[in-house]
């Protein structure tokens, strides 16, 4: 039987190539999903969370679905920010993110959810025009200056945190992080690696544009 299959494939090299590609893809996917390889590959992108008391919590925008609802990533970020606010880590929460695809501003959608789950309206500030991580930082500066904020607790996805923290550090702030866990929002390790590849490309671009600097964390007591 094996010899017949081999002969059949030999007469059809195109189909044999496709079959080999499919088998190879399945094998690689299995290896990625069932071994620590993916964790090892993404580890250089990860920032260790060390949330301390800050002058402001800054929640980076994710996306909007429907008329004005945060997407899954946005919901996770809002939930984490609300928890950090309730823990008393900062007196104000700044949601940042502008209009996406004709919907309401991302920051508005996330702030609406934040109010629903207990962040007082008096503690919420909105930056409603940014369209990128760099603009999240740049356009939040006036709000942060109004609050006299120098120490920030950033909230975003863990794969995004290195770039986000590098931007706010580049803008002169001391930065700590509270990250949404890496496995939330990814169906499997393959999906996580795809996001990591996109993030490496974005980090490279930001480095070339001088939009990042080494993190300047809070001075932790010994």
What is the reported pLDDT for 176?
93
The helix (H) or strand (E) run that includes residue 125 is strand 124-127
- Please give the share of the chain, as a percent, with pLDDT higher than 90: 57
- Please give the share of the chain, as a percent, with pLDDT higher than 70: 72
Distance separating alpha carbons of residues 94 and 114, to the nearest angstrom:
11
What's the pLDDT band for 193 if we cut at 50, 70, 90? Answer: confident
What is the reported pLDDT for 31?
43
What is the reported pLDDT for 24?
43
What is the reported pLDDT for 4?
54
Domain ranges for the chain, please list them. Answer: 49-208
What is the reported pLDDT for 32?
44
Mean pLDDT of the chain: 81
Q: Is the alpha carbon torsion for 150, 155, 159, 160 positive or negative?
A: negative
DSSP 54-93: -SEEEEE---EETTTEE-HHHHHHHHHHHHHHHTTS-S-E
Q: Which residues contact 121 (CB under 8 A, 6 or more apart)?
A: 115
Distance separating alpha carbons of residues 218 and 221, to the nearest angstrom:
9
- Which has the minimum average pLDDT: 79-88, 138-147, 201-210? 201-210
What's the pLDDT band for 28 if we cut at 50, 70, 90? Answer: very low
CATH superfamily of 49-208: HUPs (3.40.50.620)
pTM of the model as a whole = 0.79
């Amino acid at each position: 039987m094996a010899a017949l299959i081999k002969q059949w494939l030999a007469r059809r090299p195109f189909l044999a190539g496709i079959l080999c590609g499919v088998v190879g893809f399945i094998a690689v996917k299995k290896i990625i999903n069932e071994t620590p390889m993916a964790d090892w590959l993404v580890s250089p992108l990860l920032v260790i969370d060390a949330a301390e008391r800050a002058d402001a919590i800054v929640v980076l925008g994710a996306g909007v679905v429907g008329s004005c609802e945060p997407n899954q990533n946005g919901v996770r970020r809002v939930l984490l920010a609300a928890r950090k606010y309730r823990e008393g880590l900062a007196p104000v929460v700044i949601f940042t993110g502008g209009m996406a695809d004709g919907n309401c501003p991302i920051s508005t959608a996330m702030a609406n959810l934040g109010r629903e789950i207990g962040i007082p309206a008096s503690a919420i500030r909105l930056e409603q025009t940014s369209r990128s991580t760099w603009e999240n930082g740049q356009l939040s500066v006036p709000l942060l200056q109004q609050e006299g904020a120098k120490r920030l607790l950033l909230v975003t996805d863990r794969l995004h945190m290195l770039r986000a923290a590098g931007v706010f550090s580049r803008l002169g702030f001391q930065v700590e992080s509270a990250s949404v866990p890496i496995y939330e929002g990814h169906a499997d390790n393959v999906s996580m690696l795809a996001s990591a590849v996109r993030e490496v490309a974005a980090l490279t671009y930001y480095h070339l544009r001088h939009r990042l600097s080494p993190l300047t964390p809070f001075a932790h007591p010994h």
